[in-house]
Structure 1
Amino acid sequence: MSTRQYSLLDRLLSQSDQAMRTLVPGAAQPGRPSPAQHLRTDAVAGQQRQHTAGLMRINHTGEVCAQALYQGQALTARLPEVRGKMEQAAAEEVDHLAWCEQRLRELDSRTSVLNPLFYGLSFGIGAAAGKISDRISLGFVAATEQLVERHLDDHLRQLPEDDLKSRAILEQMRLDEIEHGSQALQAGGVDFPRPVKGVMKLMSRVMTAATYRI
């Protein structure tokens, strides 16, 4: 049985549909249940509640960026197997997106209004990386996931001790991000030099500072 070859127009329409699912609140549907679904409702309140919401908003926007990055890379990837890996990773990241959004609702908060801006920027970066080469594209995934892992470590340290729900979500996200980064390197991704990773870290700081409250 032959495999259908999708045209550029087909892929663009698919990307548009995925963008809407990513950016419209409530549109993302997880394939796995939230790790926090069986945990008791926590008693996080006051400034701790606001701080936790800020952290989860950052993580949600990070997943918006991940979706855009993977979709941009899938659009320009040269090898079908690399394109497939990008699309599979994007599908798995939908779980994170939905979990973070659900947790924000439980905290009586919302997602960032800057998400469309960061989606567009990340999509452009991903498409450019994929256009250069598949090895660069996969290397960018690995470097991004390593950066996200450090972010999650920091957020886990900042969470209130009794916020079991947020902690369960971030811990599972961390495991998934480590796996995605490892898979990207094993598939032939370039291990970026420290200066490149430094620039990526600086860009990440801009995103976190902007989305913590907005």
Structure 2
Amino acid sequence: MSAKYHTPLDRFICSADKALRVISGVAAASRPTPAVHVDDAHLTDEERKHSAGLIRVDHVGEVMAQALYNAQARFAKSDALRDQFEKASREEEDHLAWTAQRLKELNSRTSVLSPLFYAGAYALGTVAARMGDQHSLGFVVETERQVEKHLESHLQDLPAGDAKSRAIVDQMRIDEIAHGKAAQDAGAAQTPLPVRVAMTAMSKLMTGTAYYI
């Protein structure tokens, strides 16, 4: 159903339902994992642990992305923008499912801190949405720019033999670029410096902790 038919109560219920599904690890991909036809090469214990740490960071990043889009869709001023955020969120849910699946294949788990990062990202997304649609779009552009940067670093850091993880991360990077461009084309405004600083700080906190826990 299009977002324009949702009442504020409907949007609250949908938002709460999505939050519970994301935090509980229930995510369904609409596309097959990009690694479906990639053979899982032998990795040493150290390489497997390193890959799992990086993919766990990526998974938490997707938890945060869901929180951001959830908040921005809920508080968007226009129905068209709300639909755009919800569409991007559904595509990002693929990333959430792909990384969760890859962590299982690596005999690892998702971060126990996911609920905290979801809450923090939701708060940031709410602030961005309250600033108006153009600033909310600018927030998406800045978010996707930061995510693209860290995914590129993960492509460099993943063990050479872990082609499955690399295939997933590369497709995620391509999708993030597309989401950022769509937001830019829709009339994104420059994100204020204090918000950019807060986003960078949260990103550093996330990457520094989710790798381990």
1:160 match: secondary structure: coil
Counterpart CA distance in 2 for 1:121 and 1:152 is 21
| Deviation at residue 188 of structure 1 after TM alignment | 0.8
Equivalent position amino acid for 1:79 in 2: S
Secondary structure, in 3 states, of the residue corresponding to 1:176?
Answer: helix
Question: 1:8 maps to which residue?
Answer: 8
**Once the 2 structures are TM-superposed, how far is the Cα of residue 3 of structure 1 from its aligned partner?**
8.4
- Normalised by the length of structure 1, the TM-score is 0.94
- 1:164 matches 2:163: yes
Match of 1:130 in 2: 129
- Quote the residue 1:141 is aligned against: 140
Distance in 1, matches of 2:76 and 2:140, equals 13
- Residues 1:10 and 1:53: Cα distance change in structure 2 (over 3 Å): same
The 5 A counterparts of 1:5-154 are: 5-25=5-25, 27-154=26-153
The superposition leaves residues 69-95 of structure 1 with CA deviations (integer Å, 9 ceiling, x where unpaired) of: 000001110011011111011000000
Residues 177 and 80 of structure 1, relative CA distance in 2, 3 Å threshold = same
Q: Does 1:191 align with 2:186?
A: no
Residues of 2 paired with 1:22 and 1:181: CA distance? Answer: 22
Deviations 1:8-64 (A, max 9, x none): 111111011111221123x20000000001111221121111111000000000000
Inter-CA distance 106–7: structure 2 relative to 1 (3 Å threshold): same
One-letter identity of the residue aligned with 1:104: L
For residues 167 and 6 of structure 1, do their structure 2 counterparts lie closer, same or farther at Cα, with a shift above 3 Å needed?
Answer: same
Contact 1:135 1:188 in 2 (8 A): yes
| Cα distance, 1:195 vs structure 2 | 6.5
Identify the range of structure 1 (68-77 vs 16-25) with the bigger mean alpha-carbon deviation.
Answer: 16-25
Distance in 2, Cα, partners of 1:198 & 1:128: 14
Helix, strand or coil for the counterpart of 1:31? coil
How far has the Cα of 1:210 moved from its partner? 1.3
Give the whole-Å Cα distance in 1 for the aligned partners of 2:14 and 2:108.
Answer: 30
8 Å CA contact retained: 2:68, 2:124:
yes
In 2, distance between residues paired with 1:4 and 1:85? 12
- 2:156 and 2:75 map into 1 onto residues whose CA distance is 37
Q: Which runs of 5+ in 1 are unaligned?
A: none
CA contact (8 A) 2:55 2:103 kept: yes
AA in 1 matched with 2:21: R
Tell me which residue corresponds to 1:182. Answer: 181
Identical columns (%): 48
Confirm or deny that 1:201 pairs with 2:192.
no
Distance 2:74 2:4 in 1: 16
Output one character per residue of 1:157-192: Cα deviation in whole Å (capped at 9) or x when no partner. 001111010000000000000000010011011133
Moved segments of 4+, more than 6 Å = none
Shift of the 3–196 alpha-carbon distance from structure 1 to 2, 3 Å rule, reads closer
- The one-letter code matched in structure 1 to 2:13 is L
Cα distance, 1:5 vs structure 2:
2.5
